[in-house]
Amino acid sequence: MKYIEEFQDPALARRLLDDIHATVTRPWALMEVCGGQTHSIIRHGIDQLLPEQVELIHGPGCPVCVTPLEVIDKALEIASRPDVVFCSFGDMLRVPGTGRDLFQVRSEGGDVRVVYSPLDALRIAQENPGRQVVFFGIGFETTAPPNAMTVHQAKKLGIRNFSLLVSHVRVPPAIEAIMRSPSCRVQGFLAAGHVCSVMGVGEYPELAARHRVPIVVTGFEPLDILEGVRRAVRQLERGEHTVDNAYARAVRPEGNPAALAMLEDVFEVTDRAWRGIGVIPDSGWRLSARYRDFDAEHRFSVSGINTQEPAECRSGEVLQGLLKPHQCEAFGTLCTPRSPLGATMVSSEGACAAYYLYRRLELKTVPAAATTPPQEASTVV
Amino acid sequence: MSDAGTTLDITGWTCPAPLRDRPRVVMGHGGGGALSAELVQHLFAPAFGGEVLAGLGDSAAVTLGGVRLAFSTDTYVVRPLFFPGGGIGDLAVNGTVNDLAMSGARAAYLSCGFILEEGVEMSVVARVAETMGAAARAAGVEIATGDTKVVESGHGDGVYVNTAGIGIIPDGVDLRPQRVVPGDVVIVSGEIGLHGVAIMSVREGLEFGVDVESDCAALGGLVQSMLAVTPDLHVLRDPTRGGLAASLNEIAAASGTGVVLDERAVPVPEAVANACAILGLDPMYVANEGKLVAFVPREHADAVLDAMRAHPLGRGAAVIGEAVEDHPGMVVARTALGGTRVVDLPLGEQLPRIC
């Protein structure tokens, strides 16, 4: 496997950069949708090397960042129960709910386990028939199919002590919502390659046509991102707005039929709240009626948890691309990965964390005014 | 169900309050990053007092009866107990030998404290003891004293081991981060990330096929060969928990200098790079158990590098950067593409990413 080395080749990167520099004649604002792309852009210093006229706006595509506080609080409540084994991907453990995170629940005696696949959680359920095993099913179209398959398997095998706490979200409605926002500055999109490897590109032509924006399906290594930028800039300079697949080694136009069939079987589209943004219509999935028995929210009666988020951080504007992380007064002072005000500073894919980790050397932030500690507000009905 | 014409009202979008203080210990307090440092600096050090501890090195330099000794202790809680390239026994000996070696001392004597879990198979304990004996002989150190306790079933991972060690620091050797000055050359003794990836590759739930073995090894001999070139090395560190990034940040912070790395010069084996890419980890933060990083005066750098490459444990030694006056206390990497990025101290444990 030579992918990493080959797709970070400095000489090829220089050629792509030269082409972008030669192509661009005026300012353009592109949004990379996926947090993995944001991380790669900042880690490799790609934004430092692009022409000044090309601005990269960081989108809302970090699955950790957009999981609502209310859902985290539900996870904390379920994970605290003595009869529960709560399984999650690793980077959700550090995301703060109201006053706690899953690491803290574990330190208080909760059985919280990091797994690397939802099928591991299903195996734990099989091995522990006397306990309830819950998997924290969050993320975009990339993580939804394996989670769907796990629920499908649980039903097929009759494993009754497994359930899913679902907070899945979909990219195209988020792009739609961003384009409809009156303050939107985005002129072109780098679509998330891994999402498209599952979903294909069928949802994008209508978006591109309606909003007159080029949408370029883009990968995650430096050369992938530069190629995505190059193609998007080329379209903008020509006045075009089509869907272009710059990640053909992973993305087929029709996507992954088996994964799509699994999604169709297990989930149904629903409105979904995005942390820091609010409710976006049709932007998420929930378990369909056939699988409702496996919904942890119903099984553990936590659907009554309603959390009010105190006005502390501006990550909503960051997730919308309206604000660069370092333009927030709290960046690097009140808000750091050690003491995050919001999820965009917690997850390594969050734009704020990426800027803090990799870029704070050259960023000058406005000294933050002292603020009073926020009131914690959480009600469990 | 939905209103296709909905527009978002972005006024009042908010996020939650932070977790600033933790009332209980979390795993990150043992991760070798910022949380570990805070625990030691804000809880242990004030409680213990004492001037020697204030140095906060991997080992303490103390003078007894006119002799300068390096004194160090470490506890090993690795899971699984045996992994490609070694086991907890090798780690328990080599880890403490290496902590002493980073002071320039050749380890002389170790103590060994076992915490065994009720029910663990005696053959497992025997295998750990035998590997410890073999590692001690290979490192030229004697296990001179020890202790054993047994905890009830369910209260331990089979075998925990603590070792402490002492060794004599040769005259003229003074290895401290405070000695680092701008212009010092940063040298790493070989490929990074092997131990951490080897452990992850056999960890329950994460088993993946990778041709990587732990680099677990005793570095005393390599250090002696470096000191033979010049006793005037400025600082040595073995980048274990928290990886190369943690060691470089500790040195930058304690010395008040900046560090600039050439990312392309850092030797990362392809298997490590691939495993890290899959897991969403950065090799710079992955643990090593048989590597050192050295800050060497520029005039000695070539000779020290040659001496390292002549030693079996330093064949892959490489210059990876330098100490600078700019950005004191901060480590910055020049990326392969020509950009720059900060290489930060890890917060706690590295967490595999969701996607």
pLDDT in tens, A169-206: 999 999 999 899 888 889 999 999 999 999 999 999 99
Residue A249 has pLDDT above 90, yes or no: yes
Distances in Å between the Cα of A5 and the Cα atoms of A10, A302, A304, A375 are 10, 47, 50, 49
Q: Is B4 exposed, middle or buried (0-12, 13-18, 19+ CB in 10 A)?
A: exposed
**In this structure, are strands B293-296 and B340-343 parallel, antiparallel, or unpaired?**
unpaired
Among residues B223, B315, B300, B219, the alpha carbon closest in space to that of B267 is found at: B315
Distances in Å between the Cα of B180 and the Cα atoms of B56, B174, B213, B254, B322 are 16, 11, 33, 9, 10
Residue that the structure tokens 């050797």 belong to: B173
Looking at residue A295, the DSSP 8-state letter turns out to be: B
Mean pLDDT of A90-94: 86
How far apart are the C-alpha atoms of B21 and B5, rounded to whole Å? 44
Distance from CA of B156 to the nearest CA of A (A): 15
Q: What per-residue confidence (pLDDT) applies to B45?
A: 84
Q: In chain B, which residue's Cα lies nearest the Cα of A46?
A: B339
Stretches where chain B sits below pLDDT 50 are: 1-20
How far apart are the C-alpha atoms of B288 and B28, rounded to whole Å? 18
Looking at residue B42, the DSSP 8-state letter turns out to be: I
- Chain A residues whose beta carbon lies within 8 Å of the beta carbon of residue B353: 36, 89-91, 348-349
- Give the DSSP H or E segment for A217: strand A215-218
Q: What are phi and psi of B147, to 5 degrees?
A: -160, 150
Look up residue B36 and give its amino acid: S
Among residues A379, A102, A60, A309, the alpha carbon closest in space to that of B16 is found at: A309
pLDDT in tens, A143-179: 999 999 999 999 999 999 999 999 999 999 999 998 9
Cα separation of the two ends of chain A: 52
Residue A368 has pLDDT above 60, yes or no: no
Chain B residues 74-133 with CB within 8 Å of chain A: none
Hey, which bits of A252-323 come out as E strands? 267-274, 278-287, 306-307
Residue A118 has pLDDT above 80, yes or no: yes
Is the bond leading into B80 cis (omega within 30 degrees of zero)? yes
Distances in Å between the Cα of A27 and the Cα atoms of A30, A186, A211, B1, B3 are 10, 11, 18, 39, 33
How far apart are the C-alpha atoms of B15 and A316, rounded to whole Å? 8
Residue that the structure tokens 């392309």 belong to: B264
Distance from CA of A107 to the nearest CA of B (A): 6
Look up residue B16 and give its amino acid: P
Distances in Å between the Cα of A135 and the Cα atoms of A115, A231, B309 are 9, 39, 49
How far apart are the C-alpha atoms of B301 and B294, rounded to whole Å? 10
Distance from CA of A121 to the nearest CA of B (A): 10
How far apart are the C-alpha atoms of B222 and B298, rounded to whole Å? 19
- Chain B residues whose beta carbon lies within 8 Å of the beta carbon of residue A275: 15
**Whole-number percent of chain A with pLDDT over 70:** 92
Nearest to B6 among A3, A281, A310 (CB): A281
Q: Is B20 on the interface with A (CB under 8 A)?
A: yes
**pTM, rounded to two decimals:** 0.81
Residue A371 has pLDDT above 50, yes or no: no
Q: Are A246 and A216 in contact (CB under 8 A)?
A: yes
Residue A2 has pLDDT above 60, yes or no: no
Say if the Cβ atoms of A98 and B25 lie within 8 Å. no
Residue A348 has pLDDT above 80, yes or no: no
Q: Is B62 on the interface with A (CB under 8 A)?
A: no
Distances in Å between the Cα of A198 and the Cα atoms of A61, A243, A256 are 15, 16, 5
Q: Is B209 on the interface with A (CB under 8 A)?
A: no
Say if the Cβ atoms of B10 and A13 lie within 8 Å. no
Residue that the structure tokens 């304690």 belong to: B254
- Chain B residues whose beta carbon lies within 8 Å of the beta carbon of residue A310: 14, 16-17
Hey, which bits of A79-211 come out as E strands? 84-88, 111-114, 132-139, 162-169, 188-192
pLDDT grade, residue A64 (50/70/90)?
confident
Q: What per-residue confidence (pLDDT) applies to A76?
A: 96
Q: Are A312 and A341 in contact (CB under 8 A)?
A: yes
Q: Are A48 and A333 in contact (CB under 8 A)?
A: no
Looking at residue B242, the DSSP 8-state letter turns out to be: T
Nearest to B347 among A143, A276, A338 (CB): A338
Q: What per-residue confidence (pLDDT) applies to B206?
A: 65
Nearest to A317 among B13, B28, B206 (CB): B13
In this structure, the number of other CB atoms found within 10 A of the CB of residue A228 comes to 27
Compute CA B226 distance to the chain's CA centroid, rounded to the nearest angstrom.
20
Six token digits for residue A181: 């926002």
How far apart are the C-alpha atoms of A59 and A278, rounded to whole Å? 15
Mean pLDDT of A289-305: 91
pLDDT grade, residue A309 (50/70/90)?
low
Chain A residues 36-95 with CB within 8 Å of chain B: 36, 42-49, 63-64, 69, 89-94
**In this structure, are strands A111-114 and A84-88 parallel, antiparallel, or unpaired?**
parallel
A vs B: CB pairs below 8 A: 208
Mean pLDDT of A224-249: 97
Which candidate in B14, B212, B262, B334 is best for mutational testing of the A interface (most A CBs within 10 A)? Answer: B14
